Structure 1
């Protein structure tokens, strides 16, 4: 088990004990009795109206971790087999406590949690099964739980960093929203969502997950090995920010520090690809096909937009080659100038020559033909 998971298991136990000692027995008894009646109510309705539609009912959240209070609601995981199962969904208020009964489909939420593609992994791993329609459903659930545990047992590497990158990408979108918004509330909302996305990214960078609710998030993140520089203080500065400028500044700092951490971990933990004879096949020819002649044509036509978009496309392709093939880094956009297209064309041709050197180092020749007959002969023999 991951060391941070062990620490958090003890935190959960501590919270259970804390809950037991801070809540008087009478109140606790009434709360648990109410929960039992609610659970039985849901199960009886499922047995009567949804015997084929609902596979599993399980308990999750604060009443599993023990971190509950008098107004805590009941977190039920209702896994549905069919769309008809959604009909059991309901929201209501009982004795000043709000409840939200909803379904969790196998093929979306459960699979996402099993693949660690959802921040709600805890509800899958720690759920306590209360009802199961058929034994095979329990086996299916155990399979998903084991898959999640297997993923968490893997060392931090490319897979966990890729999951983090997806959250960082979302955080960047929220940063853009924070810049575009004008009202303080809208900026604060975007900055807050940015922080949540980065919380999830940090969990992925450490190949772990939130085991408890939002009030424990900072406690769970604090002991992790990989944290952005000044993470907690920067986040609290964001929470305390009053003005639009302060919110944007703290959001930027939190995002920047997280991306710096990601880049450092990527460089330290992930072995970069190496250009080879096989993985370079067709890449120079593709660069020639998609960009070279467009650069020439746009320069001759003095079409600045055409040239700019072609440069953008070339940069995208070369960046992909850097990441997926391990080629050198080429900065096309650095050399683009709308007022000097001929100079840009000359520099782009130089970049193509430099890329050709990657072919030469790998022992690959360019697939070039002087006639259709020569191409046909090679193509029909399968050697192109």
Structure 2
């Protein structure tokens, strides 16, 4: 580490002793300086962990005129580190890879090590796919905004939101995180088992001057991501955990679809059929129950067809119950249900 960086770190430690001696827990370095590949314009990326609000006094920003390098002395509290450890994004290098150069509180260092292990375990777990799905949903909001806005500058910002969320989603999906700066992100992404055009499309968005082209590229990125994220998931086989789902489908929507047909209420039929479809999609994301294309076959011109379609889906889902060894809860009368319910 060069003398400028060392002086900055020493100054933070000295100021902490003067103005908030109980605040500073530790200091780490990350980024190019920690990796040893910095160049003459590299700044110093610091993990300054503080334990209370007094520690925010240590934060500042400045520019050295002789080198024209800007420095951001940014502090981090435990809430931020715990958020990072829960892998809400893929920018985890600061938390996981920082080289600790100063320890004031050994207990804080031990807790940081625990958070690092927590993050690594999360990246290797099935639970990470929930984060991935949320990031894709976030990308879709930005994508929708790209269609709501007309100004090129605003659409570019919307595109940034899409790209940022999708890159994080794909990285987390593969159980990894970005270890280098923005300029190397695409290289890290390209190292994953993804199609080459994905990175090329991102580059094309950055270079585009046309709103329609940007929107088309974003759509392609989103569609590819959704397909890619489904490739690796190992879905569970139907099991007893599905108990009650058939009955829920029946009780929530079956008779409502039939009533909608009798009243020729297209809206009610549409909404209830969509609800059934969404429940099946939610289950199929986790369990191998097959594919149900209900809304592809939905018929707004003959609502009786939708009743038949609903029943056909239920009959198909009965096979899932059979595979899982689940019996449908039928009772000849409410008295028999009550007796059985109270008995168990």
Establish whether TM, by shorter chain, passes 0.5.
yes
Corresponding residue SS for 2:329: coil
Query: Is the 1:279–1:325 Cα contact (8 Å) retained in structure 2?
Result: no
Query: Is the 2:146–2:215 Cα contact (8 Å) retained in structure 1?
Result: yes
Residue in 1 aligned with 2:116? 145
Aligned-partner Cα distance in 1 for 2:196–2:145: 24
**Cα distance, 1:183 vs. partner?**
0.7
Aligned-partner Cα distance in 2 for 1:220–1:351: 44
| Residues 231/371 of structure 1: CA separation in 2 closer, same or farther (3 Å cut) | closer
Aligned-partner Cα distance in 1 for 2:297–2:53: 55
| Residues 235/47 of structure 1: CA separation in 2 closer, same or farther (3 Å cut) | same
Query: Is the 1:65–1:212 Cα contact (8 Å) retained in structure 2?
Result: no
Residue in 2 aligned with 1:166? 134
Aligned length: 342
| Residues 262/367 of structure 1: CA separation in 2 closer, same or farther (3 Å cut) | same
Identify which of 195, 220, 238 aligns with 1:275: 238
Residue in 1 aligned with 2:290? 328
**Cα distance, 1:131 vs. partner?**
2.9
| Residues 209/360 of structure 1: CA separation in 2 closer, same or farther (3 Å cut) | closer
Identify which of 162, 169, 172 aligns with 1:201: 169
- Say whether residues 1:118 and 2:89 are aligned partners: yes
Deviations along 1:309-357, whole A, 9 cap, x unmatched?
2122111111122233432322221232333222212221222222223
Identify which of 33, 42, 54 aligns with 1:72: 42
| Residues 362/253 of structure 1: CA separation in 2 closer, same or farther (3 Å cut) | closer
Deviations along 1:19-59, whole A, 9 cap, x unmatched?
xxxxxxxxxx9xx3332222222212222322333322222
- Say whether residues 1:379 and 2:344 are aligned partners: no
Corresponding residue SS for 1:209: coil
Residue in 2 aligned with 1:245? 212
Aligned-partner Cα distance in 1 for 2:329–2:190: 55
**Where do residues 24-63 of structure 1 align in structure 2 (5 Å cutoff)?**
32-63=2-33
Residue in 1 aligned with 2:76? 104
**Cα distance, 1:229 vs. partner?**
4.2
**Cα distance, 1:159 vs. partner?**
4.6
Corresponding residue SS for 1:59: strand
What stretches of structure 1 of length at least 5 have no aligned partner? 1-28
**Where do residues 312-327 of structure 1 align in structure 2 (5 Å cutoff)?**
312-327=274-289
Aligned-partner Cα distance in 1 for 2:314–2:73: 59
| Residues 351/258 of structure 1: CA separation in 2 closer, same or farther (3 Å cut) | closer
Aligned-partner Cα distance in 2 for 1:344–1:99: 64
Aligned-partner Cα distance in 1 for 2:230–2:242: 25
